[in-house]
Amino acid sequence: MAAPHASLDGAWQTYRAAYQVLPTTEEARDRTFVILGTSHYGAPERFGLTRKTFVTPLGETRTAVPLVDELEQAAPGAVRMEDYCHAVEHSIEFQIVFLQHLYGPTVRVLPILCGPFVKSIYEGGMPEDSEPVARFFDALANISAREGNRLFWVLAIDMAHIGVRYGDAIRATANAGEMLAVEQRDRERIQQVNTGDIRNYWSLVQDRHDDLKWCGSSPLYTFMKTNPDARGTLLDYHQWQIDPHSVVSFGAIGFQ
């Protein structure tokens, strides 16, 4: 499933919609939760991993270190051990807390920070035209195929970032004015994700060099590339007025 990583006061309804699709405690007992999070601080065209555990007030997770090792060995050019980025990054941490609440503090996770695919967005082509990125996709796809239902995928993503706060000339108001057109474009992208049309999805991201500033385009692409048979359903869509002149959009998506 895909959930936001926005602040809880603005996104709680969307988090609720996303987390309702998770497996029961019994079904999740032996699963590893692969968390694909937006990397706000890591390098582009790179994937930030860590072997460290996550410690929260609820307790300490387990990290799927053998899978981390496998990815690093298979795609050394694309993998970075980004302990610092993980230490300050909120996109995965929010999901960790929710998973611990549901399944206990020692839930097993594979945390992956997905850097932006800047070269593809600004110069054209597909992200996998970069050989290191392609190697990472292949390695993660092999893990997905081999592990199957022993994995559950959590995408920690937000969508459009519009308004003065994000360098735009317009003063954005949620669900009004220019944000109505933004919602339409958001939904067009979501539709391509839900039908598994990765090329059309990415062409919409590349359009105008992603002027919507989707904070989640690379985790979504990574998931689609490594799970090509997945199909989604939009469970919730929301625009959050983060300040008087700026808006963030996000959604909840359930995948089968």
pLDDT at res. 178: 98
pLDDT at res. 29: 84
- Report pLDDT digits (tens) over 222-231: 999 999 999 9
pLDDT at res. 44: 98
**Dist. CA 248–CA 240, nearest whole Å:** 5
- Report pLDDT digits (tens) over 6-46: 999 999 999 999 999 999 999 898 899 999 999 999 999 99
Q: Domain spanning 2-255 has what CATH number?
A: 3.40.830.10
Break the chain into its structural domains and give their ranges.
Answer: 2-255
pLDDT at res. 223: 99
- Report pLDDT digits (tens) over 39-95: 999 999 999 999 999 999 999 999 999 999 999 999 999 999 999 999 999 999 999
pLDDT at res. 58: 98
- Under 8 Å between Cβ of 246 and 163: yes
164 pLDDT exceeds 90?
A: yes
155 pLDDT exceeds 90?
A: yes
